[in-house]
Amino acid sequence: MQHFVAPFLNKEFTVKTSRSGGSGGQNVNKVATKVLLEFNIIHSQILTEVERAILLQKLADKLTLDGVMQVVAQAERSQLANKEIAFKKMYQLLNKCFVVRKKRRATKPTKSSVKQRLTSKKRDAEIKLMRKKVL
């Protein structure tokens, strides 16, 4: 998978670690394996204004009030593995925002599909007519 963002964007990320819940036994109580990766979109020096606007619009529900996108990883027992997962998640989210969707070309329904729809409508109408009580 090609990444839109280059590795030099890593300098703009803030990595915070804390103790993670879940499996790990006594290790959970001692080692900070949970990784919180933050990216401040508003104050980013690498993004252009257009890119910043796209990210702010498409990631609006994933941002804090300060315009910071946060990704959490705590699935693994090692901090390094969780960092890799967090960076992958972050890059996937950023890449997804810049994918340009193909425009939908309007098409007409085929003659057979129109005919099929009309015959089924007629059949349904007849069935409903038969349900009526005759006075």
Q: For residue range 54-83, list pLDDT tens digits in order.
A: 888 888 888 888 888 888 998 888 888 888
The CATH label, of 3.30.1780.10, 3.30.1330.40, 3.30.160.20, 1.10.3720.10, for the domain at 7-97 is 3.30.160.20
Look at residue 122 in the predicted model and tell me its pLDDT.
97
Residue ranges per domain, the chain?
7-97
Asked if 56 contacts 67 with a C-beta cutoff of 8 angstroms, the reply is yes
pTM (2 decimals)? 0.66
Q: How many residues does the chain have?
A: 135
d(CA 54, CA 60): 10
The mean pLDDT value for 1-23 works out to 66
Asked if 33 contacts 76 with a C-beta cutoff of 8 angstroms, the reply is yes
Look at residue 24 in the predicted model and tell me its pLDDT.
62
Residue 46's identity, in one-letter code, is I
